[in-house]
Amino acid sequence: MPADVKALLLENQVMDAYRKRPHYQRNDYLGWIAQAKRPTTRTRRIAQMIDELRQGGVYMKMRHRPSARDAGPAVVD
């Protein structure tokens, strides 16, 4: 995991939520972030990952029941 991503997960207090995600999701997030060609795209992708981890029930803008924190429906933009 890149040091800046790790620092942001810790700073935003979502590292536990990240670690609870299935291995494939963790890999997908990191690979998706690493593929960004522009720094602004990378920053936006990290922000999306953090937001989804905070919210729970969402993975790559799709509903993901196993990662939901409560029984309520996930809100996906």
Q: What is the pTM of this model?
A: 0.77
List C-alpha distances in Å: 68 to 3, 33, 36, 62. 27, 22, 27, 12
Give pLDDT, residue 66.
Answer: 63
Give pLDDT, residue 74.
Answer: 47
Give pLDDT, residue 68.
Answer: 54
Identify the segments of the chain with pLDDT beneath 50: 70-77
Concatenated DSSP letters of 30-74: HHHHHT-SSHHHHHHHHHHHHHHHHH-SEETTEE-GGG-SSSSPP
- Measured between alpha carbons, how far is 15 from 29 in angstroms, rounded to an integer? 13
Q: What is the torsional sign of CA 55, 7, 44, 12? A: positive
Give pLDDT, residue 77.
Answer: 46
What is the tens place of the pLDDT at every residue in 19-35? 998 898 999 999 999 99
